Structure 1
Amino acid sequence: MGRYVLGRLLQLVPVLFLISLIVFAVMHLLPGDPALLMLAGAEGGAISPERLEELRAQMGLDDPLPIQYLNFVTGALQGDLGQSVRFQVPVSELIGDRFGSTLQLAVAGLAVAVLIGLPLGIIAAARKGGWIDTLCMTLSYVGSSMPVYWLGLLLVLLFSFTLHWFPSAGGSGWKALVLPSVTLGLLSAGVLARLIRSSMLEVSTEDYMRTAFAKGLPLRLVILRHGLKNAMIPVLTMIGLQFGALLAGTVVTETVFSRPGLGRLIVNAILSKDYPLVQGAILFLAVVYLLVNLAVDIAYAWLDPRIRYGTS
């Protein structure tokens, strides 16, 4: 198991290098002076030559590109992602302040996805070929096909402006989390529903399932005790991957519902051309996503020893 984990960690190195290179290149591929663009977006109005030179020196923009990239990577490894041009505070501090809200939303969205997707998939597999199966799969396709921003606005219109059940934006407490988490979780719910249906149908042909039916066990007991347990291995993998995707996918949801999370921070940083903040936040989310994927791979290898021994 240790060799497998070490191998997966070593595979992350070139991926992290490529991500850091792409994130670093974003600022330098833009036409014009990056320092001038950042000051124009963050401060507006007339920009003094002194302020421009101060920012260039602060960010090391006068150094050759290889030196700038080396400084960027070295700082990132030490937890230093630079300083926000707009807020004049370290980027890592801003990320730390906002990440809790984003993590809360991603966990709530994943809970919605599991609570909706798993029952839909199980029911569809149990009623394969019938109208219930068709209805469940139709609902899963609809849920996974709706654009997040459109669904969010639709939920706000119905549950905030019409029924007045939940706040439309901002707020605190569980009510403020309901609409954003449903908006974020429905997409993953459709994916999980189709996967659990496929997994359940695959294990339904196994000998132990036929034996359970031959013993006269009720359908519900066979599905929950024998089928679901063995069908959950690929589903657990997908749940982990979906959690990483939900963390990275909060940008639109937080913008629609005005939540003070990392996604909304990135949008505001892009609009104000605060490139150090954009770079740091995107790099942070990419690393979190990779670590979640790594944790999923390790859990999968622990559940199924064939993975770590290369026999599957």
Structure 2
Amino acid sequence: MVGFLVKRLLAIIPIFLLAILLTFIMVKMSPVDPAEAYFAASNTHPTPQALEEKRQEMGLNKPIFLQYVETVKKVVQFDFGDSYMTKRPVIDEIRERLPVSFQLGLGSIILTFLISVPLGFYTALHKNGFVDYSTRFLAFIGASMPAFLVGYLLIIVFAVKLAILPLEGVGTWQHLILPMITLALPFIVQYTRMLRANMLEHMHEPAVSFARMRGLKERIIMVKYVLRLAIGPVITGLGINLGTLMTGMVIVEVVFSIPGFGRYFIDAIFSRDMPVIQCYVLLSAVLYLVCNLIVDILQMYIDPRIVKKGGHL
């Protein structure tokens, strides 16, 4: 078990360095001159001499390899530079906005499991029943609707017409209900159907048949054997689809005017705030790696055979 965790932790290091390299290349290939973007964010028109001085200050005149090495050193020290818009350290701006996005993302994941697992479990046990057919219909509807449309519909119904939930912003837990539903809906649809299909498949496993021969109660068999085997791909899928969650969070924060990490990224794109954009991409990569590590650990406890197979999920 310890060896499994060590291998996973060591595997993160080269992937993280590769993420820094790809982000560095992306910035260098961008047609935007960081020095020009810096002055444009301040609504000033620099002279050629001022541009050249700013490029030297940013280290843009150094060899590419040295620029990359300095970038790695700064990232390791959590130094992403100063925002072109606010002139404040980017890491300070992120500290103020990341908790809101973290609450929204974590709440959406919890909501996904609280709904998709019981619903997928029930529809598997009552195949072709009313709830099963209704879930299929709602899954088709939910999978066809983009996140921004779902968000606006929820705003119209619950914030404008019924006036029972806040329209936008943050402050109380009520402000997070509609954004969490908007963000979680596509995952609820996907993982409800996935869990149903996995449970139907595992119901005919030899271990399940043997458990029935031993006289175990059907409820115990479904929870201890079938559900435990079927939920593994759901957890893995959620870790793999973290990029979709990050994309959806950007849309949701814009729709509901949430001052989180995603909206900060959108504002940085429009203002060509390169340090913020670079920080967002790198932190997204780190978040993806950490969440996948957590998923691997959960899978290890759900199915100990993973460790025996050498840690291959």
TM-score w.r.t. the length of structure 1 is 0.89
Distance 1:90 1:21, change over 3 A: same
What's 1:176 paired with? Answer: 175
Equivalent residue of 1:170, what SS?
coil
Distance 1:145 1:278, change over 3 A: same
Gaps of at least 5 residues in structure 1 are none
Contact residue 38 and residue 84 of structure 2 kept, 8 A: yes
Distance 1:46 1:241, change over 3 A: same
What's 2:22 paired with? Answer: 22
2:4 aligned with 1:4: yes
What's 1:280 paired with? Answer: 279
Contact residue 81 and residue 91 of structure 1 kept, 8 A: yes
Equivalent residue of 1:258, what SS?
coil
Distance 1:161 1:48, change over 3 A: farther
Equivalent residue of 1:69, what SS?
helix
What's 1:74 paired with? Answer: 73
Equivalent residue of 2:13, what SS?
helix
Q: Report matched runs for 1:181-192 at 5 Å.
A: 181-192=180-191
What's 1:35 paired with? Answer: 35
What's 1:294 paired with? Answer: 293
Q: Give the AA of the match of 1:270.
A: I
Per-residue deviation, 1:208: 5.0
Per-residue deviation, 1:170: 0.7
Q: Larger deviation: 2-11 or 91-100?
A: 2-11
Q: Report matched runs for 1:98-247 at 5 Å.
A: 98-207=97-206, 209-210=208-209, 222-224=221-223, 226-241=225-240, 245-247=244-246
Q: Report Cα offsets for 1:211-250 as digits up to 9, x if no partner.
A: 6667888765653455324433333333444567535541
Q: Larger deviation: 96-105 or 125-134?
A: 125-134
Q: Give the AA of the match of 2:190.
A: V
Query: CA RMSD for the aligned pairs?
Result: 2.5
Paired with 2:221 and 2:309, the residues of 1 have a C-alpha distance of 31
Q: Give the AA of the match of 1:12.
A: I
Per-residue deviation, 1:2: 2.5
Gaps of at least 5 residues in structure 2 are none
Per-residue deviation, 1:4: 2.1
Q: Larger deviation: 9-18 or 105-114?
A: 9-18
Per-residue deviation, 1:56: 1.9
TM-score w.r.t. the length of structure 2 is 0.89
Q: Larger deviation: 137-146 or 220-229?
A: 220-229
Q: Larger deviation: 207-216 or 133-142?
A: 207-216
Per-residue deviation, 1:87: 1.2
Distance 1:14 1:171, change over 3 A: closer
Q: Report Cα offsets for 1:78-137 as digits up to 9, x if no partner.
A: 111121111111111111111100100001111221222122211221122445323212
Q: Report Cα offsets for 1:274-307 as digits up to 9, x if no partner.
A: 0011101210111111111012113312432321
Q: Report Cα offsets for 1:141-186 as digits up to 9, x if no partner.
A: 3323321111111111211121111122113101111110000010
Paired with 1:219 and 1:298, the residues of 2 have a C-alpha distance of 29
Equivalent residue of 1:122, what SS?
helix
Equivalent residue of 2:108, what SS?
helix
Paired with 2:56 and 2:268, the residues of 1 have a C-alpha distance of 21
2:232 aligned with 1:260: no
Paired with 1:215 and 1:137, the residues of 2 have a C-alpha distance of 35
Paired with 1:287 and 1:109, the residues of 2 have a C-alpha distance of 19
What's 1:270 paired with? Answer: 269
Contact residue 121 and residue 193 of structure 1 kept, 8 A: yes
Contact residue 109 and residue 181 of structure 1 kept, 8 A: yes
- Count of matched residue pairs: 311
Q: Give the AA of the match of 2:150.
A: L
Contact residue 39 and residue 45 of structure 2 kept, 8 A: no
Distance 1:184 1:74, change over 3 A: same
Q: Give the AA of the match of 1:4.
A: F
Contact residue 101 and residue 260 of structure 1 kept, 8 A: yes
Paired with 2:304 and 2:118, the residues of 1 have a C-alpha distance of 28
Contact residue 253 and residue 260 of structure 2 kept, 8 A: yes
